[in-house]
Amino acid sequence: MLHIKELTYRIGGRPLFSGTSAHIPRGQRVGLVGMNGAGKTTLFRLIAGDLEPDGGSVRVTGRARLGHIAQEAPAGEDSLIETVFAADQELSTLESAANAETDPQHIAEIHTRLADIGAHTAQSRAATILAGLGFDEAAQQRRCKDFSGGWRMRVALAGTLFARPDLLLLDEPTNHLDLEASVWLEDYLSRFLGTLVIISHDRDLLNRVVGHILYLEDGRLTMYVGGYDRFKQTLNEKRSRDKALREKQIKERAHIQAFVDRFRYKATKARQAQSRLKVLTRMEPIANAVEQRTISFQFPRPSKLAPPMLTMEDTVAGYTGRTVLKELNLQIDPDDRIALLGANGNGKSTLMKLLSGRLSPTAGEIKRSNNLQIGYFAQHQSDELNETETPYELLSRSMENTRVENVRAQLGRFGFEAAHVDTEIGSLSGGEKSRLLFCLMTTNSPQLLLLDEPTNHLDMDARDALVHALNEFPGAVILVSHDPHTIGLVADRLWLVDGGTCHTFDGDMEDYRNLLLNNKRVRRASERTNTESGATRGSTVRKEKRRKKAAAREGTTALRKSIKDSENRIETLGNQITSLESELARPEIYEGTTANMVAISEKLSDAKKEMKKEEARWMDAEKTLAIVVASSAEDH
């Protein structure tokens, strides 16, 4: 499906890709990961044809349709449903042609093709995708121009999914989504039958959706089997082995060099010295693993407060006469770790503003401890920063009459080194601006942190650092995030904002995820029932349909078992390969018999060959199953 061969691409003379190659077969779902700035988005632009490589090639086979989200969000007079419907160019063209065509033969051909691509279900499909991304039926009929940029990017995503491309490229698709829409997208992508390449910092998404990770580092692409966690484990093990082998090689080189230095000018040893010098020249150095610069967060320790630090009693909140939340009876204690759940528009941000004191209640009461200090991180706050200021200048204004070294120490807590302290804010990355906001909100050592989507611009390493810092923080944390991994590691209580109020959710993130998916499936089933109730199908037709579905499920049983067996075999072989490579990395193995080392090397070679064959079997079975399932869906 996608062939990258000896790809070379430079930006300003700096090589971003250096003769790297990769192959992604049809139907494979792949996560593209790498450090910020490694070139992931540039690779997408090369695949899409927006950029031309300096060397090598990037090729999508056949007449495959490519789908990716345009950088410009749709904005116009068309309704959301019309905008999404128009995203499938073939469908739109055929429907226009069907209305304009007069030749009966051509009309028949057009309607045959419309039937082939499922035109009769297109309207409901578009509505279902929009609903999954957070647009109710009323919103779907509104004009695109009436929505903000973030919501319009959701419409762009909906259009890309609706078009059902053969190769789907998604670059951080959850950035503009809330948790509920992210869960829906994860479920949708896990059932996507085309080829998928996705860039994401959402660890759960990469663990649940993709079967391979394509790792971009130092201009090279390397494919790993499994989701993100398995990739990370394999990469860490590889780096440990490389480090051991490199240390061994350094010792061996030093030993050979010492022999050469000692005997190269002695007649009796000159030949041996020259021979070993040639060995030294031929010895390929093992590259030292690049130590990635670690990001750290350190929230200052606050003074202690007696519980409760904040209570609400029958509190009501809203804007200009419109009530958003009511009957709020909540309590926050100094050691609480709470995540707010609920769809966008239900009032999570309103509740955060109420807690922070930026919004006053319209009724009821809020009681706060006298000495309570609150740090508030708002998701769009970075847009309000003065981009001509430096981090030091911004913080100096906030920490008035504070010594210079204390201001710099506060910046240092959030990873701002001396070189970045005096850089203009406009030159900082999104992640660096987020860290600056963390720094700014904690200058008064707050006992309560209110975090509204704090991970939006953070990569995985920075998210891990934030999680670690929050778990070390001795105060209370209230968190809103679309990243279920972060919620699961930070929060020990869940509050659900729904139905105009907020109450405790009895369960964990997995329970909430299942609740969301089950609710959507019930709605889809209800919609199908309502659609069919007005049709003239009899019970005999429905029974026959159920019989065919049962037969289709039974027909794929052997295939599914084959896939499961292959996955188990791949995991076993992967563990075997790791064990053998670790054995060969031990310096003692080279001090033993040659026969033992050769035997282990042969076992490793055989295991790798078997792994390659098993992966081929697994991919073939996956492709066959996808074809059977798609064919069955069309028949039914």
**293-336 pLDDT, tens digit each:** 556 788 889 999 999 999 999 999 998 878 999 999 999 999 99
For residues 351 and 502, what is the distance between their CA atoms, to the nearest angstrom? 9
349 with 322, same domain: the answer is yes
494 with 578, same domain: the answer is no
Residue 524 lies inside a defined structural domain of this protein: no
500: CATH: 3.40.50.300
Alpha helices in 133-168 (DSSP H): 137-140, 149-162
DSSP per-residue string spanning 488-523: HHH-SEEEEEETTEEEE--S-HHHHHHHHHHHHHHH
93 with 223, same domain: the answer is yes
- pLDDT recorded at residue 290: 47
227 with 241, same domain: the answer is no
For residues 383 and 353, what is the distance between their CA atoms, to the nearest angstrom? 18
Residue 552 lies inside a defined structural domain of this protein: yes
- pLDDT recorded at residue 542: 43
239 with 194, same domain: the answer is no
8 with 34, same domain: the answer is yes
- pLDDT recorded at residue 273: 61
Residue 519 lies inside a defined structural domain of this protein: no
202 with 267, same domain: the answer is no
The total of structural domains in the chain comes to 4
Residues (pLDDT < 50) of the chain are 290-291, 529-543, 545-547, 549-550, 553, 633-634, 636
In angstroms, what CA-CA distances link 399 with 403, 407, 440? 9, 7, 9
529-547 burial: b if 16+ Cβ within 10 Å, else e? eeeeeeeeeeeeeeeeeee
- pLDDT recorded at residue 294: 57
Q: How many CB atoms lie within 10 A of CB 458?
A: 22
pLDDT in tens, 583-614: 777 767 766 777 777 788 788 888 888 888 88
Residue 293 lies inside a defined structural domain of this protein: no
For residues 230 and 610, what is the distance between their CA atoms, to the nearest angstrom? 20
Residue 297 lies inside a defined structural domain of this protein: no
Residue 319's SS3 state is strand
- pLDDT recorded at residue 455: 87
- pLDDT recorded at residue 538: 41
Residue 566 lies inside a defined structural domain of this protein: yes
350 with 429, same domain: the answer is yes
pLDDT in tens, 74-117: 888 889 988 888 888 777 777 777 777 777 777 777 778 777 77
Parent domain of 588: 539-635
Shortest CA distance to 151 belongs to which of 175, 171, 169, 170?
A: 175
- pLDDT recorded at residue 422: 81
Residue 619 lies inside a defined structural domain of this protein: yes
The Cα angle at residue 235 between residues 229 and 241, in degrees rounded to 5: 140
226 with 248, same domain: the answer is no
List phi, psi (to 5°) of 284: -75, 120
For residues 92 and 76, what is the distance between their CA atoms, to the nearest angstrom? 17
237 with 224, same domain: the answer is no
Shortest CA distance to 308 belongs to which of 441, 494, 448?
A: 448
- pLDDT recorded at residue 267: 57
Residue 305 lies inside a defined structural domain of this protein: no
The Cα angle at residue 321 between residues 329 and 499, in degrees rounded to 5: 45
Q: What are the residues whose beta carbons fall under 8 Å from the beta carbon of 390, sequence distance 6 or more?
A: 421, 422, 423, 424, 425
210 with 274, same domain: the answer is no
For residues 202 and 185, what is the distance between their CA atoms, to the nearest angstrom? 12
User: How many angstroms separate the most distant Cα atoms in the chain?
Assistant: 103
575 with 546, same domain: the answer is yes
Q: What are the residues whose beta carbons fall under 8 Å from the beta carbon of 207, sequence distance 6 or more?
A: 227, 228, 229
